[in-house]
Amino acid sequence: MRIVKSLALGAAVAMIAIGAAQAQETLKIGTEGAYPPFNGLTSDGKLEGFDVDIANALCEEMKVKCEFVTQDWDGIIPALQAGKFDALVASMSITDERKQQVDFSNPYYTNSLTFVAPKDSDFSAATTAGKAIGVQQGTIAAEFVEKTYPDAELKAYPTQEEAWADLANGRVNAVLADFGVQYGWVNGDNGKCCEFKGDPVASDDKIGIAIRKGDTALAEKLNAALDAIRANGKYKQINDKYFPFDIYGN
């Protein structure tokens, strides 16, 4: 009886250990799914983009399975804090304000803010008075316009795609957003109306992976995986798939 009980107990412990290991093999990744070419949805609803490919490469390096969860930008940090996902790979700028709410990995690319406006427009950063500038709400672009161009009309949209749609339809004079996302739009079919206007108005904006406060173990694993894909060429392969320039240092 004692041997049987011991075997049964050992089997139960083993099953618990296996279950725990399996639970650790999945990393839930939050992203927006409305910020191409960084994260977006295909016509059949599948996630794609630079952020998605980077997340998959990091998961492969960490030997875990990525499980993606889409979340509207407005509630994306509260969703992370509530445990809806473990890490947020959604082109989020590392700011002092956000660092009060979440922790970040090392940066995985560098961003700058640039204006896009119709090709026949004379819009510039010096001629914002009375102009309607579109931004995605809750972004550093929205904060920048509010602080830097008080003479302009700030029009904030739930998604970046809605801001572009109003620009293409003439409802705003310009859109301010991250260089990488603007580059993808002006070089795509929907952005043929428009072009970059002037040099970046803000630069050296570091983009990181957000995690819950105090989750240093996950941060260390993500940082090690990021170093690895930078060293083994996987990062460059992903970079070159989307951009003809090095977005890591921009």
92 & 185 share domain: no
Between strands 65-70 and 87-93, the pairing is unpaired
Find the range with the poorest average confidence among 150-159, 201-210, 241-250: 241-250
Query: Which helix or strand (DSSP H or E) is residue 209 part of?
Result: strand 202-212
70 & 165 share domain: no
Closest CA to 123 of 172, 183, 191: 172
- Assess if residue 65 is contained within a domain: yes
Q: For residue 36, what pLDDT is reported?
A: 94
Token pair of 19 as six digits: 């279950």
Q: H-type helices in 86-131, by residue range?
A: 96-99
130 & 153 share domain: yes
- Assess if residue 181 is contained within a domain: yes
Q: What is the pLDDT of residues 178-220, one digit of tens each?
A: 999 999 999 999 999 999 999 999 998 999 999 999 999 999 9
- DSSP of 179-197: HHHHHHHHTSGGGTTEEE-
What is the residue range of 162's domain?
111-203
80 & 162 share domain: no
- Assess if residue 147 is contained within a domain: yes
116 & 98 share domain: no
Instruction: With 0.95 as the threshold, say if the pTM is over it.
Output: no
pLDDT category at 249 given cuts 50, 70, 90 is confident
- Assess if residue 30 is contained within a domain: yes
- Assess if residue 179 is contained within a domain: yes
Instruction: Return the percentage of the chain with pLDDT > 90, whole number.
Output: 89
80 & 174 share domain: no
Q: For residue 195, what pLDDT is reported?
A: 98
Q: What is the pLDDT of residues 15-56, one digit of tens each?
A: 444 444 444 589 999 999 999 999 999 999 999 999 999 999
- Assess if residue 248 is contained within a domain: no
214: how many CB neighbours lie within 10 A of its CB? 9
- Assess if residue 247 is contained within a domain: no
Residue with tokens 């920048």, as numbered in its chain: 144
172 & 237 share domain: no
CATH value at residue 102:
3.40.190.10
- Answer whether residue 63 shows pLDDT above 90: yes
Q: What is the pLDDT of residues 85-100, one digit of tens each?
A: 999 999 999 999 999 9
95 & 211 share domain: yes
| Structural domain count of the chain | 2
211 & 187 share domain: no
14 & 87 share domain: yes
178 & 164 share domain: yes
10 & 25 share domain: yes
- Assess if residue 129 is contained within a domain: yes
